[in-house]
Amino acid sequence: MDYSDDDEFLTPIDDEDALLEELKPAYQRDIEDFKSFTHRRRFAREVVEDAETMWGEAGILSLLHAIENQTGWSLEITAQRSDLDNILMGQYGIYDHDAWTKLKSSDEWIDISREIYELTSRRLDTAAAKIAGKHQEEKPKKSFRSWLTNFRF
């Protein structure tokens, strides 16, 4: 290959170590963020493994419940690996050790998650309207000042 036409765009690097030192501050935050991310993931994995080892599935459910209470989220179990295994074995007569991983990285799983989110959003709107309607039906309590103002001797 002839690179002679591209030479004008290339700058020779005299000291690669100096260049790396010069670029290091720009990437240091990314490196620290990555270390923090990997540490959090490892810690979370260890907590889940310990809960499962000590208390089985009930321990993991307790963790999920604690997460819901702490964050104000509603976590739902949308599928279980055993259900997928049973469908594959019952309907197709196969067992695939990696089926769960394949499912979780598939377009179908993304579609399932989107459909669940959309259904939840619609139903949440309906539930919020019912809650708002109940609040509107309640008679507002009179304040002491309004009671005193309207009090007749």
Amino acid at 111: D
The answer to whether residues 89 and 127 touch, using CB atoms and an 8 Å cutoff, is no
Instruction: Spell out the domain ranges in the chain.
Output: 1-75
The answer to whether residues 96 and 88 touch, using CB atoms and an 8 Å cutoff, is yes
Mean pLDDT value of segment 53-67: 92
The tens digit of pLDDT for each residue in 95-152 reads: 999 999 999 999 999 999 999 989 988 899 888 988 888 777 666 666 666 666 666 6
| Cα 75 to Cα 67: distance, rounded to the nearest angstrom | 8
The answer to whether residues 86 and 99 touch, using CB atoms and an 8 Å cutoff, is no
Contacts of 13 (CB under 8 A, 6+ apart): 19
Bigger pLDDT: 31 or 125?
Answer: 125
What's residue 22's pLDDT? 72
CA distances from 131 to 2, 77, 134, 141 (A): 73, 26, 5, 18
pTM of this structure: 0.53
Confidence category of residue 1, pLDDT binned at 50, 70, 90: very low
